[in-house]
Structure 1
Amino acid sequence: MFVDQVKIICKAGDGGPGSCSFRREAHVPRGGPDGGDGGRGGHVIIEADENISSLVHLVGLRHCTSENGHPGQPTLKAGRMGEDTIIRVPPGTVIRDATRGFILKDLVEHNERVIIAKSGDGGKGNVKFMSSTNRAPREFGPGEPGEEREVILELKVIADVGLIGKPNAGKSTLLSRLSRATPEIANYPFTTKYPNLGIVNVGHERQFVMADIPGLIEGAHAGIGLGHEFLRHVERTKMFIHLVEPAPDDQSDPVENYLNIREELRLYDEELAKRPEIVCITKCEMADADAAAELLEERIGRPVLKISSVAGKGLPQLLQQTIRKLDELQEPPID
């Protein structure tokens, strides 16, 4: 099961009350106040963990509450602090305030963290209220309440390369062939209901992360079908491999299918349409593959690769072009 959006109410721990205490030892005349401060409550912290790939473990977590701080103790002993609560999420998780809608933090790196609800400070013990005119204070601080905030956690997959295209274009098959990922593969549309990630190794020293993005349909930019859920996962990919089926089962035109996907990307985010792209005609063993590749090359004015994930044709050339484009993206700009 894959979950990429959850809503949680986070409540940090309240601060513990200070102590109202007086020294009463027989050998200490006129002992005076000795109440310690209360401990602060526990924070609610959200931390990125690269060992997690989905938000599914948070589905049942509607409320998240941290421990309250403990009361202060006599003999100037401070109360114990409440335990922090750490919510672990995959890198690429955007934390959004559910009430106001603004982004609180975008967790990208492993172990990156943010305090999402700050704890309340502990109250002061009565010793802090002693003065020259008040030698035996009985006041003490009650402790401050912890913050409460409702947040939306939204996962946007982080990958070097995103596989895009119409349903049944062969994205899952290509990912399974190039990596050890095992996405669900079947001969019907919308087999892939959520992104799958795989690490592609090229030789002994090079590797990159590839994501199989569920098939896009016309109107996805406006939320038709699961458009927004699909498109949010292409936002963090550095480049695209656009797979085009030469003879779709629905008798649609391969060139128009390619142009429709490009338009959906542009309508969703202009910047997505400007990212590097490698265009491939899949299932090149089919009779219509050569003609489809020629028509597509003529329409877009650049080379189109012909590949077959099942037969392994064209995959070495695809990997070489992918590595070359990724290297170009890493090169620093020339002043």
Structure 2
Amino acid sequence: MSTELIAVLAVVLVAMAFDYTNGFHDAANAIATSVSTRALTPRAALALAAVGNLIGAYLGQDVAKTVGEGLITPPGGVSGLGVIFAGVVGAIAWNLTTWYFGLPSSSSHALFGGLVGAVLFASGGSVHWDVIVSKVLIPMVLSPMVGLILGYVVMLAIMWIFRRGNPSKLHRGFRTAQSISAFMMALGHGMQDAAKTMGIVVLALYTGGFQESRTHIPVWVFLTSAAVLAAGTYAGGWRIIRTLGRKVIDLGPAEGFAAETVASSVLYFNSLVLHAPISTTHTITSAIMGVGATKRLKAVRWAVAQSIVGAWIMTFPAAAAISVVIYIAVRPLFG
């Protein structure tokens, strides 16, 4: 077995480990509102999210291509595979840290930060800063703003349209509607997050010399990435579900439906139109805040929101710093 093959297999293994942590970390964001409003039981919500992730993976090819060819150019050969390995491990470490503390940070930005940190410390690689700015940093700022504003506007519209409705009937109706909006959210999560893992695997195959294209996604990469993400999703992320579902605002079925509908719409637009890899976490969390602000500003527990935003800000540089340490440690193995 060649050194290149061993290195590629190592990268694929950690990429799937990242995919799994992404499943129980970020998928928790997709189903938190449905679970907290009791529209779905936890296991039913996780199963629905797993199916949505499986289907969404097949719709996220353009996002995968952005990740695979647009963000960095690692050094060639085994050294480049060491860069990718360190970047992904750095993202996993940050995912586990924020999961432990119940903070819904972004797996996407952890991955991007890890890759950038590792490649900056290596010789012979480069960061495509124009793509980082246009496809990562600008959407990172705009998507939460859009989610916040649309969440507020959509919830106001729902309150006005149904202002004369029977409260008990509306409660039951929106609980049923949340089954649909939760699936929409899970589908958008699959389009974004399974695609990112696929992009990493393709980048590893290209860097190791096992395929000539940086955009072609083999069928086995589709199937494996989607299946591992679905498995991680079904494992659950109860700490994060509690934070989003109860600690930011007290959600009802109507609020949950509005937040999920807004967030999934933002995910679809970025996946299918802009081909930009945005954060599921940022999008749903900001939508929840916007929805909650329609009650009154004090309905949003801004101290919790502040800690979430702090985790957002820290994610990119923290994952980058961790990946540098990992790269220093593994560089002799990928020399």
TM-score (norm 1): 0.21
TM-score (norm 2): 0.21
Specify the structure having the higher radius of gyration (Cα): 1
Q: Which has the higher contact order (CA 8 A, sep 6+)?
A: 2
Would you tell me which structure has more strand in proportion to its own residues? 1
